[in-house]
Amino acid sequence: MKNQAIIITGATSGMGKAIATLLAQKGARLLLNGRDEHKGKDLVGELKKWSDVVFIAGDVSKPETNEQLVRETITHFGKITGAITNAGSLGLGSVTNMALADWHYTLNTNLNSFFYLTKYAIPHIKNEKGFIVANASIAAFKSFPNHAAYCASKAALVSLVKQMAVDYGPDIRINAICPGPVNTPLIWDSAKAFPNPDAAVSDAAKATLLKRLGEPEDIANLVEFLISEKASWITGTAITIDGGIMASR
């Protein structure tokens, strides 16, 4: 990992933070992004004992933020070996009751930000024979009430990952991970779409074959494997990590 220079978005909480922490512990150099500058500075303080870590605050739903992340990574590390995207927005609501602004923001954050970042980063990642990992969701395959924009954006993200793997192999390995219910702030926000949020989260845990919520560290372990040489023949796929929910549908 010590030769890696990786961009990680959505890095200040939940799965993104767990991924950043694990990879920093392994010695990877990281360019981290999130919207909250204070959280970002605190995270750098936590991780700098293990590796060279830089934080750039910004909203990845905007193209210019992603262009900046690529530029700053080259400035600090001289190369980009990979990108791991985690930024996400729920945009709760059905098609008829969702504000247009919420629809656009959710797609910009969940889908377009991946397009923006990879558009600018791919020429550099290609030089390093590197990798891209998109954090999608089982919502790409399974519909949830009042999650119209979220489900649509995650399904499109998985499709884009597979298409890009065709265009950029064999130089870049590009994969998606599709978590089920993970114990992060996002699951509690998602549960607000249900009549009883506490029961919804409890039911989600019970619906897994392993009878528990996933932990952010579970997701980080999968990402560590996917970006390693042990996964050198894996590209163009979407890997569910969901405690078995999709197997029991």
Active site residues: 150
Q: Is the backbone of residue 241 left (phi > 0), alpha (psi -120 to 50) or beta?
A: beta
Of 239, 246, 242, nearest to 173 (Cα)?
A: 239
The residues with which 147 forms a beta bridge, in sequence order, are 93
| 3-class secondary structure, 156 | helix
Cα–Cα separations (whole angstroms), residue 248 to 181, 183, 243: 14, 20, 10
Tokens of 156: 């499109």
Write the CA distances from 130 to 49, 80, 156, 184, integer angstroms.
25, 8, 23, 28
